Amino acid sequence: MVNNLDLIKGISTPSPAKIVLLVIDGLGGLPNPKTGKTELETAKTPNLDHLATKGICGLVDPVSPGITPGSTPSHLALFGYDPVSFNIGRGVVEAMGIDFDLEPEDIAARGNFCTVDKTGRVIDRRAGRISTEKCTELCRLFDGLVIQGVKLLVCPVKEHRFITVFRGEGLASEVSDSDPQQVGVAPRAIIALNPQAGMTAAIANQLVAQAKTLLAKHYPANMVLLRGFSQRPRLPTMGEVYKLKPAAIASYPMYQGLAKLVGMQVLETGASIKEEFATLKQNYADYDFFFLHIKGTDSAGEDGDFDRKVRLIEEVDNALPILTSLEPDVIVVTGDHSTPALLKGHSWHPVPILLYSKWCRPDRVGEFSEPACIYGGLGRLPATQVMPLAMANALKLTKFGA
């Protein structure tokens, strides 16, 4: 059967028109009980509101109603890739983010250095966010180990985060995580989820056992947590599907990794919101699609910091004229998912979206917010349809069928 990507690939056509997809990570929120207003409603956003007035609004479901997505599926969906068919492990995404050259048979896992108490229970999943330098030092203790003939490659990512790559024969990625995703319990034993993955699970458990010894003197980083065991997937690139020359502006490695996975060029950028917008301006002539990723809003939401999330949204609004003055043919502003400060984590709530182009059919929405977007002309749409809409509004899709 023809899936949506095949359909789009068959009708997409290159053109000079430019598309900017601004992803404000974790944008959607929930009302503050004191004011009845969400983070986005609370923020003063005259530039976004103006764009909402000229454009068309709606609400996006990252996967489908009720499903809280991780960052990988939510971004893949925004790029137009069905996040259920293309379920990519965290390990692979982290490896891509640090430019690790994964071989096709490699198994990659995301690791955290963490703190366990004397009874072995996790008391800090991030080991007090040790420095990247410390993380690099600790990774050297593991890098190059050989267990059952399989070589382990262990590389630092940032702060407490690292990746471990298993390279050898007879491996399979279908194993469970050791990361319990909560404190107060011991890391879980890694188990094989199918018969082929028995050896991989055994090796991973031996690695965890060795970590106990190797890290004994490195408190607070005295244990590891592993998750997202996965193999490199084969995704068609955005160049193939959309005939775009796409670039990514993202300061955090994981989003750079995701962007690379779909064939985007990752641009060098400063980490602040202003610097990211400046990077867009500097590189505007050289690409026809830009994925501009703002991370801080999600982190603020995860920390339960309502006010910081509000301020960061205002900071994005403040920088928006740098983008709009470039006059892209299509501007899309949305989030990859909601991260309400009240929930201190990702959530299933749909995400506000606004799309502006010369050819959008405007609605009566004059404000970029969750409740206003309910009445938008885009209605309620799955995230996988955002790219087809952006492409259509850029007049980059020819007619389907006779």
Positions touching its own copies (CB under 8 A) are: 1-2, 4, 7, 11, 28, 30-31, 38, 59, 63-74, 83-85, 87-90, 93, 110, 227-228, 342-343, 345-350, 359, 361-364, 370-371, 374-381, 385, 387-393, 397-402
CB of 281 to its own copies, least distance (A): 27
Give the integer Cα–Cα distance in Å for 349 and 130.
33
Give the integer Cα–Cα distance in Å for 251 and 261.
16
Structure tokens at 371: 């409740």
Nearer to its own copies, 80 or 220 (CB): 80
CB of 351 to its own copies, least distance (A): 11
Nearer to its own copies, 38 or 200 (CB): 38
> Longest C-alpha distance within the chain, in Å?
70
Give the integer Cα–Cα distance in Å for 234 and 120.
39
- Give the number of other Cβ atoms within 10 Å of residue 16's Cβ: 8
Contact in structure between 233 and 88 (CB atoms under 8 Å): yes
Nearer to its own copies, 170 or 382 (CB): 382
Give the integer Cα–Cα distance in Å for 167 and 171.
8
- Strand-pair category, 56-61 with 351-357: antiparallel
Contact in structure between 369 and 349 (CB atoms under 8 Å): no
Distances (CA, A) of 211 to 90, 92, 144, 204, 250: 21, 22, 14, 11, 32
Nearer to its own copies, 28 or 220 (CB): 28
CB of 10 to its own copies, least distance (A): 10
CB of 83 to its own copies, least distance (A): 7
Give the integer Cα–Cα distance in Å for 75 and 100.
20
Nearer to its own copies, 2 or 285 (CB): 2
Contact in structure between 167 and 150 (CB atoms under 8 Å): yes
CB of 336 to its own copies, least distance (A): 11
CB of 63 to its own copies, least distance (A): 6
What is the phi-psi region of residue 219: left when phi exceeds 0, alpha when psi lies from -120 to 50, beta otherwise? Answer: beta
Nearer to its own copies, 12 or 269 (CB): 12
CB of 388 to its own copies, least distance (A): 3
Nearer to its own copies, 284 or 348 (CB): 348
CB of 56 to its own copies, least distance (A): 10
Residue with tokens 């107060």: 184
Nearer to its own copies, 163 or 199 (CB): 163
Return all residues near 400 (Cβ < 8 A) that are at least 6 apart: 7, 10, 11
Question: Which residues in 33-61 are b (16+ Cβ under 10 Å) and which e?
Answer: eeeebbbbbbbebebbbbbbbebbbbbbb
CB of 250 to its own copies, least distance (A): 16
CB of 66 to its own copies, least distance (A): 3
- Give the number of other Cβ atoms within 10 Å of residue 126's Cβ: 16
Give the integer Cα–Cα distance in Å for 183 and 212.
17
Nearer to its own copies, 197 or 280 (CB): 197
Nearer to its own copies, 325 or 398 (CB): 398
